[in-house]
Structure 1
């Protein structure tokens, strides 16, 4: 195998991190707060530039030899004896910065139905950065799914594992990430080189996350809270809070930067959409960590939040950084459905490009082979790349946003409504078939997802052709009847 120098890899990581910092918006939904009893973790993956690319990949299970596991950014840990199978969505250039091609895998579900979405970047405050500095070769967004998904057997196990790695090897970034299985969902936050906290999301509530640390008002002694060793003592010793309280601990204020309008505007917007009955001022220092929704939350509701701007709200004129931005690479809504057979409990609703101008396609975890178009392409436009077919629709729409953006959203909204109904019907069929022919049910789920990837890609290509034709027509000069007759008779 080709060996990459640590310096080269570290430089590549630094460039990628600097481009993606302070990006992404996410949402965690407890099973009692969802419309169908599923747990959901969802996020927009945003980047610093528009022309990037993501590939769909499946990592099969494998046994490993004893030795070191080089994660590609300088982080080296003992190699686990076995890797569980899992799905991922790495960057197109994964192989140029990591010879194993497992870089910025972002989200996935493993064979134990443990799901991760990583991460929403978060700023670490200057005080903490001096006391417990970040570690260059530590745990970062680019390696978290790669590190945890092959090993975790439950959501809580994943929290334990990640916490161990942060405390033992250090963290290279402040981050919020989401971990779930069919029983529970956790919000995990990294606040310094070695300190972290994780809070279980109440079943009847949701958590809205932007790019600031969010955890506050939690009881450190609660069974629903996990954290680094001596966390409270560290905060107390270094006076990171004026009056630290174990029963109402403010991790975000101690380690992060609160009241940044770049973040709190989005937190306010998401909570306003899902709990409109709760009237909250804009630009508060901190918004509630968890809220109960006014209505049970569906996948479509999550998609609407991840597509939102400030239009029609009091922040329409001066809202900072809307949830929908043109530099989105992909969006995903991961569902864990406890009522389905084990192999069918995980479902990833996946889109490419900017969510309102794209479509969430349901991918059952039984799907292990993806159409070639979803596995090719780089940061240069290509007709062969699925990512570029979807992303180019937003680019074309900028030529006449008032005309094309509503058209694209309406088209894909209609398509997603069909897909929601189809999945609901298919789930019922799969449960029935599974009882008598397990493999047939698994194959049926895979075939459905593969087919929807192909079909929606064809739709995107057709939309691009139509928009190009319409744009070309719009540039035509308008001639008088006499002029037109002369031209046609030349």
Structure 2
């Protein structure tokens, strides 16, 4: 039984002038445990109580009244905490929390982690329902960390219909945040990533008010002429080079091949990059579903055994869900959600104004259940894993069919929304989002049936029978 959630995610943020359709995208793979279901729910306006007590570590805080409506992907059980992870609220603010990272010992000696401070488990629940802009989210979370502390080092993604921000915490109480330039993107993988802080640029940087004094008084800056947050607060060891930086390298090779450094283990990969071409929603889905395809490091590729497993891939068996929160759309923002392993699942578009989610997305416990959306997608992955060469083409066919169908349906919905009242819009998007989710479940269930049937003739006990017998 899981007693502590060790989250090891991969994140991406895309500015509106770096995207193909002008949308802002923030996305993340939630990676923790290979068999630990997630649910997808809509919290209604005013649903939350005014006192939050964490079952994870006892963190307690009074919440404002009148919480906003928001989407979320909580754990199947709240025994160890909620871990709501990602969502979009009624004010068109998106949040994804968290990208786990590490603070170095020099900093921790001066500012230890706080055992009962705010952690990943609580962040969505106590922040997203109470903010109206991305900047408000950073201010609210930053003030809570400064007052109550935190027991983890994390990266948090925020976006609204104007801008995207990445926030990082370090030590027990300190934090910074950087706006992703409109013409840029960033990929992040389990290490502190923000680099130079310009304390005079209030439009693009936010930070704990005492961070400069803290660093100076404790002599933490190895390069006093600059203020490089990653260098001062982060780690720089061999585990970063093998576990973390290759995922950033792969993303930068994918989106900026003309300018990206071709050094998978480099500790100097930049945080902010400009893409060579505008980035589509499909490209973001592809990155979060990737596993070093086309390189010797692909664990299901043709490279040597040692090379294939040299680096930790972006999509892996321990992905519980993957999400892309697409903002600044011409009509209504979309919460794209792939349950289970992103490489083997499908991103289903849920419009942000929906009133409920499909019942299978609200079901699922620690053991397999065919009534659960999480387990429906996981089953296909398990079956495909058993016979990759034979079954991967069948999975690719279904994924491509659904991807195209979803894009066509979203385009038609966008057209219909232009001539609809607010009530009609809510009814339409809720109905169509559920229909698309149910279609994905039907296709995956049918695929499971086919794969199980085909598997019966692929046993190691098989033998070519003599035709004369």
What's the TM-score once normalised by structure 1's chain length?
0.89
The residue aligned with 2:301 is none
Equivalent positions of 1:21-36 (< 5 A) are: 21=7, 23-36=8-21
Q: Cα offset for 1:150?
A: 1.1
- For structure 1, which runs of at least 5 residues remain unmatched after alignment? 1-11, 484-490
**CA offset digits 1:208-237 (Å, max 9, x no partner):** 100001000231221110011211121122
CA distance in 2, matches of 1:420, 1:258: 41
SS of 1:187's partner is strand
Aligned to 1:69: 52
- How far is the alpha carbon of 1:52 from its aligned partner? 0.9
Specify which of 218, 222, 234 is matched with residue 242 of structure 1: 222
C-alpha distance 325-243 of structure 1, shift in aligned 2 (>3 A): same
Does 1:16 pair with 2:7? no
Structure 2 Cα separation of the partners of residues 427 and 350 of structure 1: 19
Please name the residue that 1:377 is paired with: 364
1:314 positional shift:
6.1
Distance in 2 separating the partners of 1:338 and 1:406: 33
- 1:458-477 aligned at under 5 Å gives the runs 458-475=442-459, 476-477=462-463
TM-aligned CA deviation for residue 423 of structure 1: 0.9
Q: How is 1:286-435 mapped onto 2 (pairs within 5 angstroms)?
A: 286-313=268-295, 315=297, 317=307, 319-340=310-331, 344=332, 346-431=333-418, 433-434=419-420
| Structure 2 equivalent of residue 181 of structure 1 | 160
**Rounded Cα–Cα distance in structure 1 between residues aligned with 2:438 and 2:47:** 33
- Deviation, 1:376, is 1.2
What is the count of residue pairs matched by the alignment?
452
Alpha-carbon offset, residue 128 of structure 1: 1.4
* Partner SS state of residue 481, structure 1: coil
Listed as ranges, the matches of 1:222-241 within 5 Å are 222-223=201-202, 224-241=204-221
Aligned equivalents of 2:296, 2:384: Cα separation in 1: 26
Cα distance in structure 2, aligned partners of 1:218 and 1:405: 45
Show structure 1 runs of 4+ deviating over 3 A: none
Select 1:170's aligned residue among 123, 146, 149: 149
Quick one: structure 1 residues 297 and 64, their matched pair in 2 at CA, closer, same or farther if it must change by over 3 Å? closer
Residue from 76, 88, 106 that aligns with 2:72: 88
Matched, 1:43 2:21: no
- In the TM superposition, 1:145-160 aligns within 5 A as 145-160=124-139
Per the alignment, in what secondary structure is the counterpart of residue 161 of structure 1?
helix
CA distance in 2, matches of 1:468, 1:480: 25
Distance 2:313 2:141 in 1: 30
* Aligned-partner Cα distance in 2 for 1:403–1:233: 60
8 Å Cα contact 1:258-1:286 kept in structure 2: no
CA contact (8 A) 1:138 1:166 kept: yes
Structure 2 portions without partners, runs of 5+: 299-306
CA contact (8 A) 1:358 1:409 kept: no
Supply the distance in 1 between the matched residues of 2:407 and 2:378 (Cα, whole angstroms): 23
CA deviation digits over 1:188-224, x for unaligned, max 9? Answer: 0011100000000000000110000100023122111
Aligned to 1:131: 110
Q: Which has the higher helix share?
A: 1
Q: Is the 8 A contact 2:117 2:149 kept in 1?
A: yes
The aligned counterpart of 1:256 is 234
After superposition, the CA RMSD in angstroms is 1.8
CA distance in structure 2 between the partners assigned to 1:387 and 1:290 by the alignment: 33
Shift of 1:438: 2.6
> Do 2:157 and 2:166's aligned partners in 1 also have CA atoms closer than 8 Å?
yes
Deviation at 1:64, TM superposition (A): 7.2
Contact 2:322/2:342 (<8 A) preserved? yes
1:4 corresponds to: none
SS in 1 for 2:456: helix
| Rounded Cα–Cα distance in structure 2 between residues aligned with 1:93 and 1:217 | 40
Residues 1:204 and 2:183 are matched in the alignment: yes
Contact 1:210 1:267 in 2 (8 A): yes
Offset at residue 279 of structure 1 (A): 4.0
Instruction: Report deviation, 1:123.
Output: 1.2
C-alpha distance in structure 1 between counterparts of 2:65 and 2:340, whole Å: 37
TM-score, normalisation: structure 2: 0.92
